[in-house]
Amino acid sequence: MATQYPPNIGMPFPAEPRRSSAPARTPPPRRRRRWQAELAGWWREIDRVLLLLAVTLMAVGAAAVLAASPASARRPTIGAVKVADLHFFYLQLLFLGIGLVALLVTSTFAKERARRSGILLAAAMLVGLILVPFLGGEINGARRWFNLGVSLQPSAFMMPGFSISMAWVMSWKSRDPGLPVIGISFAAFALIAALLMAEPDFGSTMMFCTVWFVMVLLSGLSVKRFAFVGVIGLAGLAATYMFYANARHRIDAFIGGGTAYDQVDLARRTLLDGGWTGTGLWLGVRKLSLPEAHTDYIFSVIGEEFGLLVCGAIVLLYLAVAVRVLMRLADEEDLFTVLAGAGLTTQICAQAFINILVNLQLFPSKGLPLPLISYGGSSTIAMCLSFGLLLAITRRNPFLQRERFDWRQMGPRAGSVRR
């Protein structure tokens, strides 16, 4: 019988591991590893196309303010103190930097945190709207800003909070269909509209109305109630024209047609003066006579110095934002996400196209800036918050399998599709 030996007998001893003189590496702290994991998860879930579109609009805005800054800096309406030609450009770079940080930080929020943040923002800005007629500074006959060293416009920050809050209220319907969510949301909108028209701010009032109306339609409003809301809207518009002088003057000026001295007519002439390719940076002449060249009518400055082709590209950028969000929400099942995404997108794109139509003399002047392109502290940072909240609520796990829409099911031949 063979003798059994232990397995290690007759085998060489393993060599001792070499000791390095370098200090041993310590594993990263748990907090750092968690932060890195959260950052990686954010990058996987974020809509990077929408983020790229927002950053592109911000870059276009910096170039546009660079072109418009000299025209506004040389106008006597900015005050007795003379400022440098690039004064507004340098300030806009600061606002864009703050806005980009706000956008990125807000986009990291989970959906629940984004909802709570939007509601808190709306509540805080509602207090601001109540106080601004008493404590706000008056500019051109309107009290819309707090002078806190820098100007703060509550209505600009109210817009993203309004979209989130109204989506939250209307989403109650999915849990209890008997709740009067339309009435509650209308009461909130009516309060905000009354505070805005007291400033007066007719343009922002119409923007809030547009956002609210789109969200009501998407919430599943019946045809009978839709007709009732339409009648109420028309009656409100007629009452506004008859009793609200600010709106009546704007509408009358639009219907009556402009003259060579009207700012809307000057904006259209400036827009078309550059032709397809533009005159070149700082070579425009008509912009020097254009009021608010760096804010309300910056699209006309872009047309004069960069050309109509660039104007068309900007329109496509805003269209791309709308299409991208619709694609993101197409298979979404959560009612709050659909309503909040639609409200924020309506806010961004409707404001953009109203501003563009005003510059083309196709819409009454409303004083609305071009989102992420016009100069402005409150408007720029608030719009960045809107994009950040939009990115936060549309975050999606890329590993989650979803049912895809089959386009072949549409059309008259849907029943003859081959299996």
Give pLDDT tens digits for 241-263: 665 665 666 666 656 555 444 67
Q: Per the domain annotation, does 157 fall within a domain? A: yes
Q: Which residue has the higher pLDDT, 245 or 265?
A: 265
Q: Is the pLDDT of residue 168 over 50?
A: yes
Please give the pLDDT value at position 17: 54
Residue with tokens 């979404």: 332
Instruction: List the alpha helices (DSSP H) in 257-374.
Output: 263-273, 298-306, 308-329, 335-359
On whether residue 194 sits in a domain, the answer given is yes
Does residue 41 sit within a domain?
A: no
Residues whose CB is less than 8 angstroms from the CB of residue 164 and which lie 6 or more positions away in sequence, other chains included: 114, 115, 117, 118, 119, 121, 122, 340, 343, 344, 389
Residue 407 lies in a domain: no
Q: Name the region of 307 (left: φ>0; alpha: ψ -120 to 50; beta: rest).
A: left
* pLDDT for res 178: 80
Question: Can you read off the two tokens belonging to residue 354?
Answer: 């109203």
Total domains, the chain: 1
Residue 400 is assigned to a structural domain of this protein: no
CA distance 297 to 306: 14
**pLDDT, position 278:** 84
What integer pLDDT is reported at residue 77 of this predicted model? 54
CA atoms of 121 and 151, how far apart (whole Å): 18
Is the model's pLDDT at 417 over the cut of 70?
no
With respect to residue 287, please indicate whether it lies within any of the assigned structural domains: yes
Residue 93 lies in a domain: yes
pLDDT at 412: 43
Nearest to 294, CA basis, from 122, 73, 13, 27: 73
Question: What's the rounded Cα separation, in Å, for the pair 41 and 70?
Answer: 44
Of 101, 75, 99, 100, residue with least CA distance to 88: 75
Q: Would you tell me how many other CB atoms lie within 10 Å of the CB of residue 191?
A: 13
Return d(Cα 383, Cα 345) in angstroms, integer.
11
Q: Grade residue 6 by pLDDT with cuts at 50, 70 and 90.
A: low
Name the residue range of residue 98's domain.
47-395
Domain for residue 116, yes or no? Answer: yes
Q: Which two tokens stand for residue 415?
A: 């029943």
In the predicted model, is pLDDT for residue 414 greater than 50?
no
**pLDDT for res 174:** 79
Is the peptide bond prior to 76 cis by the omega test (within 30 degrees of 0)?
no
Give pTM, 2 decimals: 0.80
